[in-house]
Copies of this chain bind each other. A is one copy, B any other.
Amino acid sequence: MPRCSVTRRVHFNAAHRLHNPKQSDEWNRRTYGKCNNPNFHGHNYEMDVTVTGEVSGETGYVMDLDELKRITERVVLSRLDHANLNVDVPWFRDVIPSVENIAVVCWRELRAALPAELALRLRLWETPRNYVEYEGH
């Protein structure tokens, strides 16, 4: 059977700040600039969730995209949407919520929730002009 990648795009929005508590305030301001604002700022995040596998002869699907959407809503969006990543989300207790780290953490959570035979990669936009891709390496 042919192998395809299928993608479902999802949306969440959240507040965050970039801050490394092991470094000085001066280091944080110099490194992160406006993104270090102690009162937080925020973004609309768009995430492409892509799974790769064989097309089923029975359904014509690699995976039912409504099922992929439901899993993503349960595993990721229910925790991150309309949240403050630094304050509300335990995943970022010891992890700086940069767009790179958000993608890595979402990938690990989705990886554990998806069938092992499907490869997984994510593309996460933080703004319309910045995005990150991660596929688990």
Residues of A within 8 A of B (CB): 2-11, 13-16, 18, 20, 23, 31, 33-35, 37, 39-44, 46, 50, 55, 58-62, 64-66, 81-84, 87-88, 95-101, 103-104, 127-134, 136-137
Residues of B within 8 A of A59 (CB): 20, 31, 96, 98
**How distant is A66 from chain B, measured CB to nearest CB, in Å?**
7
Cβ contact of A14, chosen from B41, B130, B131, cutoff 8 A: B41
Asked if B61 contacts A98 (CB within 8 A), the reply is: yes
- Which of chain B's residues has its CB closest to A105's CB? B2
Asked if B130 contacts A44 (CB within 8 A), the reply is: no
Q: List 7 A-B contacts (CB under 8 A).
A: A4-B134, A13-B42, A15-B41, A20-B58, A31-B64, A41-B83, A44-B44
Taking the full assembly, how many copies of this chain does it contain? 6
CA distance A23 to B42 in the complex (A): 25
- Which of chain B's residues has its CB closest to A108's CB? B2
Asked if B40 contacts A132 (CB within 8 A), the reply is: no
